[in-house]
């Protein structure tokens, strides 16, 4: 029975579908392993192409072809999860092709809920794949310690799984082996999808391969019937995952693999009455026998199971071994703290609680959804009847006007600046702030005036470590403008003209009321008059971390020695968002095609980065643009960015 349970959780292909290995076969394989086993792993492993050396640590896990170890870079100290495959296990061409395909596919994936691929190399004995290290191991380990999970925890994990899976499906990639052991948990209890050994590009129905692959307990009927994998197959596996988390066992597990496959083909399983009605309904939908009847990923998140139940913003690390207590939800406590900080008097606090209706758990979700109605990447529209700003519906990008006509076409919507109130129509009065604007404008103008015409961006690219905005949220109708930098610093330029930054350690806060004036606070020990703003700052950080995706593939910066960077001014038109920082970094995000321009000064040299529609970035020296020119597509955006910058002086 123990052997069957182990086998039912291992990936299978059409070549290893037998119900139970024979004892003689097991003895033969064991003897073969001892006789022809792979070269023993060294404690110190060197990548001879880069010269980097790594120290092999503890074993993290093992699969059919590979073992996974903790790897530490001996120079930087950075820790990786290293997937190590002996050459002897991939000696046949089709085996090596499988590993190469996994590497090619995984290295192109970039999402907060996908295990990050860093690097791969090989020596004469092994292939090494360096991946993001997830110190809390996997959901399988958590469930082994916990036996079952609570519904709020299941919602917490499923939201992240769906986010990662949606990204994969948008890339036309099927995972094909979704199970608890392939959901890895970071130090901060964030979930990451991993193990892309069975992943494949989505093919048209008539061209799909009929190979049976995956983990037996999670295989959908259409795969067992050799009809091929589709997006619906991953949804089926997601239903099995949800069932397993709530009940501690897969829905189709039996003592006989053949019986398990029969139950899967008939979609025959039990739903205990201990499950809530929304949970039963969602599982039933995902485990529909007909693939076309299973819900889409967006429909899953809008199901009653999610909308009518509490989802924690974070889970404590204690949840790895013990059940959490949600009687008083962290989010409810969070907003009570915010109310106490922002409203001093008892009557005001009672009025605030009454307005938010925090006494009922389901009403907290109304407040939780409040940020979802704000502007994220699109210009706001004001409802003249209610005075409430909301996001405009998507529309096709306008035809770009000639550069000399751009400034006249800019329709300003809203703006904010350090030291002034949001939506002020006044120009820049502070001499120091004006010098930042003038300096950036002069550099950009000189480039545009001297740059020749060309068909493309210069081919010579440069590396960079500057900070840029990866996520942003306009909540200026209530609090202010929030953003996240590429080092995970979160900043808010409040409507009262002050600025706060929450550093990546999530403990240190930088507060600025004017350019060049910055004080340091502790988020845990903040007192009046800062407590209310710190609370709102933390809410912005939680929201962007949970709901927004990074805006491009520029490298992330983790150098904590860099000086404090904070937003000086922001301005929105009907076409783009402009952000200017205290060090002169200037970024413009165009809404409709999601392109971005970032101008910065690094090592006494100006660099320009352009992120195109495919979220691929190119960084060049501004001097190279002046000498060689760029495409009309980029030139037009630079003209628009320059004229937006000039609006700050009007």
DSSP state of 453: B
Cα 376 to Cα 163, 480, 491, 549, 589: the distances in Å are 17, 13, 15, 11, 11
> Which strands form 126-132's sheet, in the order they lie side by side?
44-46, 53-62, 67-73, 79-86, 126-132, 117-122
User: Is 365 exposed, middle or buried, given 0-12, 13-18 or 19+ CB atoms closer than 10 A?
Assistant: middle
Residue 177 designated active-site: yes
From 448, 458, 469, select the one nearest 570 (Cα to Cα). 469
Residue of 47, 100, 177, 304 marked active site: 177
* DSSP 8-state class, residue 371: G
Beta-bridge partner residues of 56: 71
Burial 38-73 (b: 16+ CB within 10 A, else e): eeeeeeebebeeeebebbbbeebbeeebbbbbbbbb
Is 459 within any annotated ligand binding site? no
DSSP-derived letter for residue 159 is: H
Q: Residue length, the chain?
A: 650
Terminal Cα distance for the chain, rounded: 77
H/E run at residue 480: strand 480-485
What single-letter DSSP state applies at residue 594?
Answer: -
* Cis amide prior to 125 (ω within 30 degrees): no
Q: 578 to each of 75, 239, 287, 567, 624, how far by Cα in Å?
A: 39, 43, 46, 11, 24
Residue 526 φ then ψ, to 5°: -65, 135
DSSP-derived secondary structure letter, 71: E
Query: In the block, which residue shows the tokens 């050459």?
Result: 87
- Locate tokens 């299941």: which residue? 154
- Report the interhelical angle of 346-356 vs 330-342 (nearest 10°): 140
Q: Residue 384 has which token pair? A: 């003249």
Going by DSSP bridges, is the β-strand pair 126-132/79-86 parallel, antiparallel, or unpaired?
Answer: antiparallel
Closest of 179, 210, 130, 122 to residue 8, by C-alpha: 179
- The SS3 assignment for 474 reads strand
* CA dihedral for 344, 345, 348, 350, sign (positive or negative): positive
Judged on CB neighbours under 10 Å (0-12, 13-18, 19+), 430 is middle
Report the C-alpha gap between 249 and 554 in whole angstroms: 42
Contacts of 633 (CB under 8 A, 6+ apart): none
Residues flagged as binding site:
83
Give catalytic residues, as residue numbers: 177
Annotated binding site for ATP: 83
């Amino acid at each position: 029975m123990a052997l069957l349970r182990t086998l039912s959780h291992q990936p299978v292909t059409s070549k290893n579908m037998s119900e139970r290995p024979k004892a003689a076969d097991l003895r033969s394989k064991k003897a073969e392993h001892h006789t022809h086993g792979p070269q023993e792993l060294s404690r110190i492993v060197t990548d001879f192409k880069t010269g980097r050396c790594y120290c092999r640590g503890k074993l993290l896990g093992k699969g059919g072809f590979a073992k996974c170890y903790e790897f530490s870079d001996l120079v930087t100290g950075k820790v990786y999860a290293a997937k190590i495959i002996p050459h002897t296990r991939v000696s046949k061409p089709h085996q090596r092709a499988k590993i190469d395909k996994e590497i090619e596919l995984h290295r192109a994936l970039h999402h907060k809920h996908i295990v990050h691929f860093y690097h791969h190399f090989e020596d004469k004995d092994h292939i090494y794949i360096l991946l993001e290290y997830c110190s809390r191991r996997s959901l399988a380990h958590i469930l082994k310690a916990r036996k079952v999970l609570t519904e709020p925890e299941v919602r917490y994990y499923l939201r992240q799984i769906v986010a990662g899976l949606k990204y994969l499906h948008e890339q036309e990639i099927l995972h094909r082996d979704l199970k608890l052991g392939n959901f890895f948990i970071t130090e901060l209890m964030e979930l990451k999808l991993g193990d892309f050994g069975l992943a494949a590009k989505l093919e048209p129905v008539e061209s799909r391969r009929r190979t049976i692959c995956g983990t037996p307990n999670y295989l959908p009927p259409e795969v067992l019937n050799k009809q091929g994998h589709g997006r619906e197959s991953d949804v089926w596996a997601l239903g099995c995952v949800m069932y397993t988390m709530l009940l501690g066992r897969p829905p189709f597990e039996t003592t006989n693999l053949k019986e398990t496959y029969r139950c899967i083909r008939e979609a025959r399983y039990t739903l205990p009455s201990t499950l809530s009605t929304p949970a039963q309904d969602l599982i039933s939908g995902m485990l529909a026998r007909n693939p076309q009847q299973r819900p889409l990923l967006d429909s899953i998140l809008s199901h009653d199971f999610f909308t009518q139940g509490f989802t924690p913003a974070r889970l404590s690390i204690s949840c790895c071994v013990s059940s959490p207590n949600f009687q008083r939800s962290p989010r409810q406590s969070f907003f009570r703290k915010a109310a106490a900080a922002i409203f001093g008097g008892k009557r005001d606090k009672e009025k605030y609680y009454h307005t938010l209706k925090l006494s009922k758990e389901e009403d907290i979700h109304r407040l939780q959804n409040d940020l979802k109605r704000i502007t994220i990447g699109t210009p706001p529209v004001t409802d003249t009847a209610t005075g409430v700003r909301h996001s405009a519906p998507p529309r096709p990008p306008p035809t770009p006007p000639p550069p000399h006509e751009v400034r006249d076409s800019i329709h300003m919507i809203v703006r904010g600046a350090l030291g002034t109130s949001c939506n002020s129509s006044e120009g820049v009065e502070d001499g120091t702030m004006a010098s930042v604007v003038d300096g950036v404008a002069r550099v950009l103008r000189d480039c545009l005036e001297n740059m020749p015409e060309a068909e493309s961006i210069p081919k010579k690219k440069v590396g960079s470590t500057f900070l840029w905005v990866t996520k942003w949220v306009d909540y200026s109708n209530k609090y202010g403008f929030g953003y996240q930098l590429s080092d995970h610093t979160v900043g808010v330029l409040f409507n009262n003209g002050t600025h706060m930054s929450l550093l990546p350690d999530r403990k240190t806060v930088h507060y600025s009321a004017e350019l060049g004036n910055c004080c340091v606070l502790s988020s845990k020990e903040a007192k009046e008059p800062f407590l209310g703003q710190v609370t709102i700052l933390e809410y912005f950080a939680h929201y962007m971390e949970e709901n927004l995706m990074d805006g491009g593939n520029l490298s992330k910066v983790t150098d904590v020695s860099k000086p404090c960077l904070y937003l000086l001014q922001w301005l929105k038109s009907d076409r783009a968002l402009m952000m200017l920082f205290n060090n002169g970094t200037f970024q413009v995000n165009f809404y409709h095609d999601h392109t971005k321009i970032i101008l910065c000064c690094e090592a006494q040299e100006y660099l320009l980065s352009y992120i195109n529609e495919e979220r691929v970035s190119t960084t060049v020296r501004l001097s190279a643009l002046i000498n060689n020119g760029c495409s009309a597509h980029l030139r037009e955006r630079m003209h628009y960015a320059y004229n937006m910058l000039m609006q700050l002086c009007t």
